[in-house]
């Protein structure tokens, strides 16, 4: 289940459906509409009138939600791998594409999406978080990649942190990255110096931790 909220609406991925709910009254959320997609919804990001959907084998899908009652699919692109998460900054979408690494898509024209870059993470990219010109990629058994995305067509590695577990989700706040690291629990990494990140806390759990957010 994926959820992303923007303004009065929450966008919910349930299987291959994108559901739009009015949450202006949190005590009485109301379903507004839904649209069926060609793949399983793995991740969502909303910006202005568009919802960007990481849609598993179907790649990246763009939905126009200007009319929340009548959402329309207006763009799609096959990312080759399995699109599991997406973030958007400016005219680019950054897709964690599992075994295909991090894929960068030009979304300036949602009806004509085009791939402009890719970074091979040498494992499975599960999640991505953007902070300025830096991307943080939760990369399975390889840990956390920190990447320079100032030139989307030529992404470069800043550093890589081995988190010991299976990194599947990342969230950055201030000088720290918080990584869901499977049976290794939540790993906290000081990223104040991106070239020299260091683990400041980990907390192994009995069960697997697969997602983290604030």
**pTM for the predicted model, two decimal places:** 0.95
Answer yes or no: are the C-beta atoms of 117 and 107 closer than 8 Å: no
Which residue ranges make up each domain of the chain?
121-214
Confidence bin at 212 (pLDDT 50/70/90): confident
- Residue 206: the pLDDT is 57
Q: Which of 150, 146, 174, 151 is nearest to 161 (CA)?
A: 146
Task: Average the pLDDT over 145-161 and give the result.
Answer: 98
In tens, the pLDDT along 4-63 reads 999 999 999 999 999 999 999 999 999 999 999 999 999 999 999 999 999 999 999 999
What is the fold of 121-214? Thrombin, subunit H (2.40.10)
- Residue 208: the pLDDT is 75
Q: Which of 173, 177, 168 is nearest to 147 (CA)?
A: 177
- Residue 210: the pLDDT is 78
Q: What is the 3-state secondary structure (H, E, C) of the chain?
A: CEEEEECCEEEEEECCEEEEEECCCCCCCEEEEEEECCCCCCEEEEECCEEEEECECCCEEEEECCCCCCCEEEEEECCCCCECEEEEECCEEEEECECCCEEEEECCCCCCCEEEEEECCCCCECEEEEECCEEEEECECCCEEEEECCCCCCCEEEEEECCCCCECEEEEECCEEEEECECCEEEEEECCCCCCCEEEEEECCCCCECCCCC
Task: Average the pLDDT over 134-163 and give the result.
Answer: 97
Q: Quick one: what percent of the chain has pLDDT higher than 70?
A: 98
In tens, the pLDDT along 157-209 reads 999 999 999 999 999 999 999 999 998 889 999 999 999 999 998 877 656 77
Using only C-alpha atoms, what is the Rg of the chain?
17
Phi, psi of 177 (to 5 degrees): -105, 135
């Amino acid at each position: 289940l994926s959820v992303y909220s923007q303004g009065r609406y929450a966008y919910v991925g349930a299987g291959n459906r994108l559901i739009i709910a009015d949450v202006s009254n949190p005590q009485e959320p109301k379903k507004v509409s839904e649209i069926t997609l060609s793949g399983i919804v793995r991740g969502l990001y909303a910006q202005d009138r568009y919802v960007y959907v990481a849609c598993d084998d179907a790649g990246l899908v763009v939905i126009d939600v200007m009319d929340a009652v009548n959402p329309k699919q207006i763009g799609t692109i096959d990312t080759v791998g399995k699109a599991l998460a997406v973030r958007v900054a400016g005219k680019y979408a950054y897709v964690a594409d599992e075994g295909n690494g991090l894929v960068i898509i030009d979304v300036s024209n949602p009806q004509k999406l085009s791939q402009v870059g890719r970074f091979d993470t040498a494992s499975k990219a599960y999640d991505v978080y953007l902070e300025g010109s830096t991307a943080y990629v939760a990369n399975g058994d390889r840990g956390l990649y920190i990447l320079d995305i100032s030139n989307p067509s030529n992404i470069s590695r800043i550093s890589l942190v081995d988190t010991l577990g299976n990194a599947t989700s990342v969230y950055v706040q201030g000088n720290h990255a918080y990584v869901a690291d499977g049976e290794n629990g939540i790993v906290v990494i000081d990223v104040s110096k991106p070239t020299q990140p260091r683990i400041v806390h980990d907390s192994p759990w009995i069960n697997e931790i697969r997602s983290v957010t604030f």
